[in-house]
Amino acid sequence: MRHIQCVRHERYAWAGCAVVALGLTLVSDLEPHRVWGVVAGAGYAVAAVLACGARSRPASRAVAVVGAVVVGAVVVPLVSLATAGLGQLEVTVVERSGQSLLTNGSPYVADPAVVADFNPYLPGMALFGVLPGDVRWWLGGAFVAALAAAGLYRARLLACPLVALPLAVSGVDLPVVGLMCLGVVLAGQGRPGRAGLVLGAAAALKWTAWPALPVALALIAVRRGGRPALWYAAVALSTATAAVLPFALAGSSAFYRSVIAFPLGLTDTASPAASPLPGHLLATYVPGGRVIAPALLAVSALLIAVSLVVRPPTTARAAAARLALGLGLAMTLMPATRFGYLVYPLVLGAVAYRMPQRGDTTVTPIAPVTPIAPTTSIAPVNPVVPSRKKALI
C-alpha cells in the first residue's frame, strides 16, 4: 500500500512538471525555452504514464520513469538546441569571452555598448569558452562531475525542471553550484586544503559562489579547529585571487563595467535579469522599493552571518542547508534576478536532504571510562551491591 501511494505521488509530480514545461512555451518569448518546453513536456508526460504502473517491478518502473525524464527533458533538448545553435544569451557571452581571452588576453570588452558585450562573470568562466564545441556540454559535464565526485549524483535531480532547463539552454550556474556542493562535502570530511581549492575555483567563476566561503570556514573551524580553518581560507582566497586579480588590475575599467556595474544596474544598459520575484517587484512597483529591496537583502545576509557565529554548522548537511537558506533569500530579494537562480537553493537543499552519512559525520567526544579493579575468582565475603539510584547516575 505504501509503495502504491509513493507511485501515485510520483506520477502527480511528473504530471506537474509536464504542465510547467508546457506552460513555459506559452509565457516565454525565447525560442530555446519554447523548444525545451515542448520536448520536455512530452518527456514528463511519458514519465507520468509510466509511473502509473504501481504493481510493476519497482526497479524496472523507476529505470523507465527516470530514463524517460532524463532523455526527454535533458538529452534530446540539449542535442537539438546545440545542433541548431540555439541557446540563451549566456552561451554566446561565455563563448565570446573565451575567444577574447585567447586573442586579446582579457575576457572583457573595453567599451561594451549592448547587452551581449557585457560579461558579468568572473574570469574563470571564460575557460569554458576556450574549450571546443558548444559550451553547454562542458558546463553540464562539470556540474555532473562535481556532484559525482561528491558522491551526490542523482538522476532525478537532473530531471527537475529548474535543473533540466538550464542544462539545455544555458548552464552557466550549474558548474558553480556543483563545485559549491563538492566544496561543502570536502569541508565536512575534514579536508580543508581540497575544500579551499574547490571553493576557490567556484569563486573564480561567479560572485554567487562567494557566500559558500564563510559557511565552509565556519564548518571547518568548529570541526577541525583554527589551523585547518586558516589553511582552508588561505587556499580558497589565493585560488580565487590568482584567477581574478590579474584581469581586474590589467583592465580595471572593463572589469568594473561588466562584473560590478552591469549586475548592479549602474550602467546605461539594463540587465535582462528581471523575473517577477519579490525583490524585483519591490524595486519596480513599490515606492522606495529600490532602497527597500537592497535593505532586506542586506539584513538577510547579516542574519545568516550572525548565525554562522552564534550557531555554526557542525555537519556538511547543516552547512549545505544553511547555504541553501541564505542563497534562497538572496535570489528572491535581489532587484535584478532570474527564476534560474533558484537552482542554487534547490540543488544545495537536495544535497542537504540526500547527503550520505559518510560525508556528514560529526565529531563526538568520548567520555572517559573509569577503570575497574581486577576481580578474583573468589567472591568477597561482604560484596557491595550498588543501588539502582547510583547505577542510573
Which of 249 and 55 is assigned the larger pLDDT?
249
Q: Which of 27, 8, 5 is nearest to 16 (CA)?
A: 8
20-34, 348-362, 369-383, range with greatest mean pLDDT: 20-34
Q: What are the tens digits of pLDDT across the range 250-272?
A: 888 999 999 998 887 778 887 77
Q: Which of 39, 46, 42 is nearest to 11 (CA)?
A: 46
Going by pLDDT thresholds of 50, 70 and 90, the confidence category of residue 60 is low
Q: What are the tens digits of pLDDT across the range 282-313?
A: 878 888 887 888 888 899 999 999 999 999 99
Percent of the chain residues topping a pLDDT of 70: 85
- The per-residue pLDDT for 297 is 87
* Residue in the structure block whose three cell numbers are 512530452: 42
Cell triple for 134: 558548444
* pTM for this entry: 0.85
Q: Is the pLDDT of residue 377 over 70?
A: no
Q: Is the pLDDT of residue 102 over 80?
A: yes
Going by pLDDT thresholds of 50, 70 and 90, the confidence category of residue 276 is confident
Contact 162, 130 (CB under 8 A): no
Q: What are the tens digits of pLDDT across the range 154-212?
A: 677 888 899 999 999 999 999 999 999 999 999 999 999 999 999 999 999 999 999 99
Give backbone dihedrals phi and psi of 190, rounded to 5 degrees, phi first: 75, 35
- The per-residue pLDDT for 2 is 42
- The per-residue pLDDT for 283 is 79
Mean per-residue pLDDT of the chain? 84
Q: Is the pLDDT of residue 1 over 50?
A: no
User: Long-range contact list for 245-251, CB < 8 A, 24+ apart?
Assistant: 246/123, 247/106, 247/107, 247/108, 247/123, 250/105, 250/106, 251/106, 251/108, 251/110
Buried-exposed string 116-144: b where 16+ CB fall within 10 A, e elsewhere: ebbbbbbbbbbbbbbeeebbbbbbbbbbb
Report DSSP letters for 214-232, one per residue.
HHHHHHHHHHH-HHHHHHH
* Residue in the structure block whose three cell numbers are 580565487: 240
Q: Is the pLDDT of residue 277 over 70?
A: yes
